[in-house]
Structure 1
């Protein structure tokens, strides 16, 4: 039982199930109950599956699977291109519904967010509130979701992953030994492939292994991130649900006033390259990524314009930032002398909350990245960790847990 004290919290994590496919089915009733995949380059066999309905998953279709392979498992698979305007609209409607219950709602991506229902949860059953939200989303928007209920954000996030689709799972601190600790360490939120490998080196294979490990040993091998993960494995997470954390106005930026007015695009390229590198370092220090890159141009007459481009995937690398910023400059510079240039990343999100939505139109490039990652791993094993590492981390499907009641 969650104690009803001034310090106890009741946190919900709302996680929409197969969101893109669910939105398409909600808008087109003929798709409901059928195996559906959202993929890039639908007409080309090299397209990849970004998400799929649970009917498709039951036939063996998986995220990042090439379309041609998905159709081998499920010949009747319906494949559609993405429509992000639809998904953003559905996301806004979903969050509008959540805000009807409390102002303490923190969106962390297009299809998931936290709610702090401590105040209303002390007056009504938290399970009943979760059921009502789930039923309303399903009835009013035809969108399924899973909900985790816990005393903090980390445990609520883990709980929502334990039963999909349409699950409601409670994870109390006293239940950690039976519900959380038996899970493989790679199923812990915040643990990617590289972190998993580091844990394996110190014989941590389950979340329970981490909870029982000496904190100093974990911190020695994994630094501050290891210390944070050790605390969370023991159910410790004091982070507030912050409605402003995901505000699209939150940004990280950098700018420079030029010693001489800029007159040629070649000059701009050099300045933008330096700014992109500086912005990458700032994003790394804050451990965040941005969905939108914004360019500021101030002319010699002090007239200032800002232009931006929103990406499908959040970015932090200087190469990605520079590509967008340079294109924005080419598209919007009026060829007048420039006094100041600035680049900012907006719609910022913590790295651990960012989900890689594979570039729908760059499947070959991602496959190259995967092969490069494997090759570098082999080199590191043989010659040591001196090379630059590049890779893709993805979360596995969670299949553990059950629905409970708060007594």
Structure 2
């Protein structure tokens, strides 16, 4: 006879995994979707496959780590306690996804487990301290690397890559032979095709990394309690993640791909390379990587860096308009920029080269969206931690 408590635990674990799919697909494929490279449906499919591969290969190690290192005594992961922890992880992630601001699954899961550890006196303060330190340092590193690239290197990168979306489909299917085969679209350039492969490939790598680190957030408590085996847990969690990637993730992809700024392909590649590199480095040293926050701050940092080269100097000098900072610079792939004049060149000449007009308001950096994203990514894990701690303190060990 099936234990009703186990059934309830599996339902909640699937709910958590569903929200993980919604929260992590945006950071991985938001840049590609925002650049118009792939559709949200294709992004969800790629996320599903790559997540499972990461979970099945490397993720099983993270499942063991999450259940053994954060708390000194893994025996605290009883089946009822595991269900309570999963409940707070899933509830906190749902809040983030409904708001359209993707929450960090790693931070939320660690927070909920930390609440259990604090309530039972089994939290390993050294381990949690190291994790928190890297969570503070890594977004700062990502942000300033993106700012420097946006301010000083983006123009050079853009000229080298020179990728712009052409009219018509990127890839077509030719059915003249015995088997249908993909072929470049009628207006697709070689550089555009290569750039598309690069940005989608990096998204797949991030999805693989997400599977390696995030499947533990959904199934580690149940596997640690011995209620579910490792392999069945990975399969169940990955299927639920796929469901989230194909449904609720559409809103988070919209937030990271369009609401903050409309990314051209060059910017999407830069963001993906920066964020995935930082995530891989953190994973290599055993830190649960919060690539939700890293990807977000890289998008903002790159936009801010680019915007410093879009100040209408001549208009400001003549009093026609005040200088404005615009992340809309990201939306103008290859567009001339307005900066300091070269020797012998006047501000009027510089303004003329860049038209001297501020970008349209629709291309301006949206501070309200960015603040909402950053706040929710910090509030959601705090809610999970506090809720889990209070539950175990008030109710006692279960």
TM-score by length of 2: 0.22
TM-score by length of 1: 0.22
Bigger relative contact order (CA 8 A; separation at least 6): 2
Pick the structure with more strand per residue. Answer: 1
Pick the structure with more helix per residue. Answer: 2
